[in-house]
Amino acid sequence: MERVIHVLTGCTAVGKTELALRWAEAHGAEIVSCDSQLFYRGMDVGTAKPTAAECARVPHHLIDIRDLTEPMDVTHYVTLARAAVADIHARGRAVLVTGGSGFYLRAYFGPVADEVEIVAELREEIRRTLASEGLGALVAELQRLNPEGLGALDWKNPRRVVRALERCRASGRPLAELQREFAARPAPFADWKVRLCELVREKEDLERRIEARVAVMLRDGLVAEVRGLLGQGLKDNPSAARAIGYRETIDFLEGRLPEGELAAAIVRNTRALVKKQRTWFKTQLPPHAQIDGASVEFWQLLVPPV
């Protein structure tokens, strides 16, 4: 059997979970998650994590694999994902990767990490400079180390600036050289055929789904979930604590957001995320098919396994 990975992506609330389940059932597939928040145990309601009943319908991989305070990065994800897809394929099952987290999704189409090692002392030094002198100081240092320019780096994004400066300082080389070397690295799944589909909906339809999704989350106990997770160290995991639904609920629980504004804040921020996701899918993914989620039999349109 040909080594094929089917990838289904799409923005938040578009309906990936049900599509993935129906297609996997129809084609004897197992699902590998590519959602950065589904890694963590306990983050269930706010992530719309597949339920026990849904996982009983189709085997899922890379869900609930980390305690809340355990770090997760793309390098480790690639190791786990390669093992999962190889195991599924070896058992004669089809592989369906689903999720919308761009940083992890990119692993299926190109290189995701270089070999520059960042020691803890350097990382902490740069973080201290950011805290004491601000982002401008880091950008100025980056410009000094890169007299030919910063290329396409988003110099207004602190996380990206910190990452770029770490690599320049650790390697002693400019960004352009590091980027050329990175682009020449093999993709983690270069030895697999990857087929990509994106699930889409019209703006009005998606906005209705976002509002309904937020209402269900609040009804099903999002506030209680976040209150419990705060006691387990949620705020020690910046990525998890900043996730939409969680950050607004933290603001509510800590008195920065009135209860009556919680749902509207989550809806508003989800819409902003969806706008970013759509742009990322359009500009960062290879050419791919789009499937209309409003079609009654949209799930049948996915390319079947070879």
Q: Does the pLDDT value for residue 303 go beyond 60?
A: no
Each residue's pLDDT tens digit, 224-241: 999 999 999 999 998 899
Q: Virtual CA dihedral for 79, 33, 207, 226, nearest 10 degrees? A: -90
Which range has the worst mean pLDDT, 45-59, 82-96, 109-123?
109-123
Convert the pLDDT of each residue in 144-196 to its tens digit: 999 989 988 888 888 889 989 999 999 999 999 988 888 888 889 999 999 99
From the list 234, 186, 244, 178, the residue with the least C-alpha distance to 210 is 244
Residue 82's pLDDT band (boundaries 50, 70, 90)?
very high
Strand ranges, E, within the chain: 4-9, 29-33, 60-61, 94-98, 193-200, 289-292
Paired sense of beta strands 60-61 and 29-33, if any: parallel
Asked if residue 269 lies in contact with residue 244, where contact means CB atoms within 8 angstroms, the answer is yes
pTM: 0.84
How, if at all, do strands 29-33 and 94-98 pair? parallel
Name all domains of the chain by residue range, CATH numbers in brackets. 4-111+193-301 (3.40.50.300), 120-183 (1.10.20)
Cβ atoms of 97 and 77 within 8 Å: the answer is no
pLDDT of 113 strictly over 80: no
Contact 97, 198 (CB under 8 A): no
Summarised one tens digit per residue, pLDDT across range 267-301 is 999 999 999 999 999 999 999 999 888 874 554 54
Q: Please, are residues 38 and 102 in contact by the beta-carbon 8 Å criterion? A: no
pLDDT given at position 187: 86
Least confident of 118-122, 249-253, 258-262: 118-122
Give the CA dihedral 166, 168, 170, 172, nearest 10 degrees.
-170
pLDDT of residue 306: 34
Could you tell me what percent of the chain has a pLDDT over 90? 76
Q: What is the reported pLDDT for 182?
A: 80
Give the closest residue to 47 by CA, choosing from 253, 216, 176: 216
Local structure of residue 197 (DSSP, 8 states): E
